[in-house]
């Protein structure tokens, strides 16, 4: 009975090693291929700079921007503090519409 357990553990360990080798990197796609999204990142950062200027000029709160753009206030906070380098394309398009409508 002991020999069977050793064989089962050995097989489980070899299967686990194969699983670990196949798993993708923990880094995001942006970090693995930074040049691919460089332009989109620069464009998004330009939009965020414009959003900061507009919010300070007109006194918009993060809650107001979030409700107008259709994202959560935490997302807007992450954008403004630099914790988020990119956003989903739909959010970027809605942010562009918001900035053009309120500029």
What's the pTM?
0.64
Residue 100 is given by DSSP the state H
CATH no., domain 2-102: 1.10.260.40
Structure token digits, residue 42 = 């620069």
Residue keyed to tokens 């990197």: 25
Residue 37 is given by DSSP the state G
Q: SS3 of 40, please?
A: helix
Is 94 a residue whose pLDDT tops 60?
A: yes
Reported as a single tens digit per residue, the pLDDT across 15-66 is 555 544 554 555 555 566 667 777 888 899 999 999 999 999 999 999 999 9
């Amino acid at each position: 009975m002991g020999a069977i357990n050793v064989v089962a553990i050995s097989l489980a360990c070899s299967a686990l090693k194969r699983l670990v080798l196949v798993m993708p990197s923990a880094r995001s796609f942006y970090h693995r291929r930074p040049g691919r999204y460089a332009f989109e990142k620069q464009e998004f950062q330009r939009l965020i700079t414009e959003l900061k200027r507009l919010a300070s000029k007109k006194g918009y709160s993060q809650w107001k921007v979030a409700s107008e753009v259709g994202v959560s206030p935490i997302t807007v906070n992450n954008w403004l503090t630099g914790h988020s380098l990119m956003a989903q394309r739909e959010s970027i398009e809605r942010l562009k519409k918001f900035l053009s409508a309120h500029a």
